[in-house]
């Protein structure tokens, strides 16, 4: 538990601060002096509102209880570090963040100086500092914006430290550090960029470039499990994101591959105007086989009289497997004359293509 004994030295200690933490829990800090807060941090003072029994209280968000206690300790004593307590890089980073939120530049400078001092001291140690990986995640989650890096950039300080001790402290061989690089592609990119600015003079510069990094994907893990293999590959590389809507509407999506309807069979039929000279199946079997193989469809001659029409149903079952597949077996039928009268070209419909 954080030491809050310094709050006893304030007068009119009647305010209470409720702190909401990132994990959803809340902590309570009582006996806060509004007058002390007003003198050093006006933004926090205006967050104090009158509640029950005319007592001031405020509800704020913070990254940890340590951060708000450090802010109050600086307001009361002028120093956010507690005596005889170890401090870590993460503590300095959290203090810097809350000082930025409540517009306290003096506290920001103090946290930045202590952060830089501890990284310099850690360069002489054989092992990396405690909570190094947690500090990296915190910085890239809260202080990696362009505006933050234009001021006292804790991110740049940490990048230069990691490059300087990468080989000496064996960061590339530590599983926790490699996991952080894998989970944060921006961190790996900044390491490579900073190493290039340092002209790749640090030991292990090439090993930093070779560190594995995760690749982003536009799909969540749950949505990928609900898609078939074919649809998954189609959706993954498409340009439009409309088909990535709710998983419940995937079946009705126009971008989903339709299942072939095996009941409705279609074939392409050619109706020539002139039937003279049309070879029969028995007369030129070998020629038709090569022609059908080249053209890839079945040519059927259909006269106007229904009695002599050769339909697709006459074909042997199993010719067709799907609407997209066209029968490649030659089955050319010659029209037979009706009642002994030969049919001329006028008895046939005009030449066209149709689907049946």
Domain ranges of the chain: 1-84, 86-217, 264-335+347-356
Q: Give yes or no for a contact between 24 and 2, defined as CB atoms under 8 angstroms apart.
A: no
Q: Return the DSSP state at 250.
A: S
A 10 A CB-CB count for 162 gives: 24
Q: Return the DSSP state at 316.
A: P
Which class would CATH give 1-84? alpha beta
Dihedral sign for Cα 263, 268, 273, 274, please. negative
Q: Give yes or no for a contact between 297 and 281, defined as CB atoms under 8 angstroms apart.
A: no
Q: Would you state the pLDDT for residue 282?
A: 47
Spatial distance between the Cα atoms of 47 and 17, rounded to a whole number of angstroms: 9
Q: Give yes or no for a contact between 72 and 39, defined as CB atoms under 8 angstroms apart.
A: no
Give the total residue count for the chain: 356
Spatial distance between the Cα atoms of 177 and 189, rounded to a whole number of angstroms: 15
Candidates 171, 86, 178; CA nearest to 128 is 171
Q: Would you state the pLDDT for residue 304?
A: 59
- At residue 96's C-alpha, the angle toward residues 92 and 102, to 5°, is 145
Q: pLDDT tens track of the chain, all 356 residues?
A: 457 888 887 778 889 999 999 999 999 999 999 989 998 999 999 999 887 777 889 999 999 999 999 999 999 999 999 888 888 999 999 999 999 999 999 999 999 999 999 999 999 999 999 999 999 999 999 998 887 787 778 999 999 999 999 999 999 999 999 999 999 999 999 999 999 999 999 999 999 999 998 876 555 555 555 554 444 444 444 444 444 454 555 555 555 555 554 444 444 555 555 545 454 444 444 444 444 445 555 555 566 554 444 444 454 544 444 444 444 444 444 444 444 444 454 444 445 555 55
Q: Give yes or no for a contact between 47 and 23, defined as CB atoms under 8 angstroms apart.
A: no
> Which residues, including other chains, have CB under 8 Å from residue 82's CB and lie 6 or more apart?
2, 3, 73
Q: Would you state the pLDDT for residue 99?
A: 95
Q: Would you state the pLDDT for residue 268?
A: 53
Candidates 297, 310, 302, 296; CA nearest to 271 is 302
């Amino acid at each position: 538990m954080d030491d809050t004994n310094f709050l006893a030295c304030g007068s009119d200690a009647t305010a209470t601060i409720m702190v909401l933490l990132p994990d959803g829990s809340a902590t309570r800090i009582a006996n806060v002096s509004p007058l002390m807060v007003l003198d050093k941090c006006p933004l926090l003072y205006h967050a104090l509102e009158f509640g029950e029994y005319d007592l001031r209280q405020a509800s704020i968000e913070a990254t940890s209880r340590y951060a708000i206690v450090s802010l109050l300790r600086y307001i009361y004593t002028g120093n956010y570090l507690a005596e005889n307590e170890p401090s870590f890089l993460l503590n300095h980073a959290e203090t810097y963040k809350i000082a930025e939120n409540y517009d306290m530049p003096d506290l920001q400078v103090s946290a930045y100086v202590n952060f830089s001092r501890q990284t310099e001291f850690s360069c002489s140690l054989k092992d990396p500092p405690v909570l190094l990986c947690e500090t990296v995640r915190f910085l890239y989650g809260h202080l990696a914006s362009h505006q933050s890096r234009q001021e006292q950039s804790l991110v740049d300080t940490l990048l230069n430290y990691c490059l300087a001790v990468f080989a000496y402290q064996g960061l590339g061989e530590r599983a926790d550090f490699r996991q952080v690089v894998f989970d944060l592609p921006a961190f790996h990119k900044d390491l490579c960029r900073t190493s290039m600015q340092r002209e790749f003079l640090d030991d292990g510069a090439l090993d930093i470039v070779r560190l594995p990094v995760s690749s982003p994907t536009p799909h969540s893990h749950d949505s990928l499990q609900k898609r078939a293999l074919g649809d998954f590959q189609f959706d993954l590389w498409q340009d439009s994101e409309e088909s990535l809507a709710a998983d419940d509407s995937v079946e009705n999506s126009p971008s989903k591959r339709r299942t072939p309807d095996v009941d409705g069979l279609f074939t392409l039929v050619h109706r020539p105007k002139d039937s003279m000279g049309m070879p029969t199946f028995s007369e030129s079997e070998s020629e038709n086989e090569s022609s059908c193989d080249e053209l890839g469809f079945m040519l059927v001659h259909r006269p106007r009289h229904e009695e002599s029409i050769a339909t697709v149903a006459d074909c042997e079952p199993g010719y067709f497997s799907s609407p997209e597949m066209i029968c490649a077996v030659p089955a050319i039928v010659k029209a037979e004359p009706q009642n002994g009268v030969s049919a001329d070209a006028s008895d046939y419909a005009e030449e066209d293509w149709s689907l049946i």
